[in-house]
Amino acid sequence: MQIADRTVASFHYTLTGENGEVIDSSRERGQPLAYLHGAGNIVPGLEKAMTGRSQGDAFKVTVEPMEGYGERHQEMIQVVPKSAFQGAPDPQPGMQFQGQGPQGPVMVTVTAVDGDQVTIDGNHPLAGQTLNFDIEVTEVREASEEELNHGHVHGAGGEHE
């Protein structure tokens, strides 16, 4: 069976950045990632590269920022007062918080703290980066009606395990 819309694909991956450093790997967790193809559950460039693949296929793919997590946007970096973090621990670089943006909730990362001023970044941590994936497809199956209705995988490697 080939990966196409309405199928569930499971795959092992190692994601490296532009300088070759490992960013993430399913092998370290010991379980492949499962996703519903065509539902936007993975970055568009990787989903395109997965189309037509079958169990046992192994390949490498480079995903440019516009097909990955997008370009970095300077306007998503802001300096806010420390008092904006009511009830939260003392903000430190690297901490992530959920904030409220014009289009709903957004995750922000603290990038700097200077006195009572905190710099936050609403860009995805991998925005602006070229992503290099090393892929091994471990399984391809038809999606269940429940998975199709919910728009994501249920069971091993997916949600609602």
* pLDDT one digit per residue (tens) for the chain, 161 residues: 999 999 999 999 999 998 899 999 999 888 999 999 999 999 999 999 999 999 999 999 999 999 999 999 999 999 999 988 877 778 999 999 887 777 788 889 999 999 999 999 999 999 999 999 999 999 999 999 999 999 999 875 555 44
Give dist(CA 79, CA 55) in Å, integer. 48
For the domain 74-121, what is the CATH code?
Answer: 2.40.10.330
Domain boundaries for CATH 2.40.10.330 within the chain: 74-121
What's the Cα-to-Cα distance from 152 to each of 77, 127, 158, rounded to whole Å?
Answer: 31, 23, 7
CATH architecture of 7-69+127-150: Roll (3.10)
Give dist(CA 35, CA 8) in Å, integer. 6
- Is the pTM higher than 0.75? yes
